[in-house]
Amino acid sequence: MKHLLVFLSIVCFSSLIICPAGLTQNDNLIVPGERIGPIRLGMLLDEVVSVLGRPEKIVSSATASGVFWRWPSRGLGIGFSKNQPAPYVGRVETESALNITSEGVRVGDSTFDLVRALGKPYHTELCCMYYNGLMVEVDNYHIWRISVFSLDYLNNWYYDIEAREQVYGELLFPLKRSSLHK
């Protein structure tokens, strides 16, 4: 009996060390404005590497919103902001049906299921539906990507688009930043 208690204590203690902030290794929860699975907004780049390993693809960017890393085998993408001395997570996106909101919304669901679960979005633009801290990208009435984001990352992304619009002389994304601060 004593050996069983020691073993159970070691298992419980090691799970606390391996999984910070009460997350489990199989945590696939999408929390708007906070995280997708174990990747939280605000995590530093080196923390992401310790959780996911090196990225499978790096999309370099000279824009204000920073660098974007992808793990296609996991259906994950992470945008790092350049606004601080150490790059931090400003956006996490998933294209995997394994990730799910507490309301049951996931990639592959219909937009009808989305609206039934989360209600009407506060803004809809082109292929995107916006909820507080959540952007859902759709095609042919089905979800193909879900993102959580920080407002400063999103603002920088819009500034990049505005700069490109000035260069190319066309409106690339007509959504106004002010509509995202509801």
**How many angstroms separate the CA atoms of 153 and 32, rounded?**
15
Domain housing 114: 28-180
Residue tagged 């959780």 (tokens): 51
CA dist 113 and 97 (Å) reads 14
17 belongs to a structural domain: no
CATH number of the CATH domain containing 120: 2.60.460
Residues 65, 157: contact at Cβ < 8 Å?
yes
70 located within any domain: yes
Residue 163's H or E segment, with its range, is helix 151-168
The strand pairing partners of 93, in sequence order, are 77, 147
98 in a domain, yes or no? yes
Average pLDDT by stretches of 10, the chain with 182 residues: 43 40 68 96 93 89 69 93 79 96 97 96 88 92 94 62 45 42 38
pLDDT at residue 39 in the model = 97
Does 134 fall in a domain?
A: yes
- 8 within some domain: no
In a domain, 16, yes or no: no
CB-CB contact of 139 with 107 (8 Å): no
pTM as predicted: 0.72
**Count of structural domains within the chain:** 1
- Residue 112: enclosing H or E segment and its boundaries? helix 111-118
- pLDDT at position 166, please? 46
Phi, psi of 114 (to 5 degrees): -60, -50
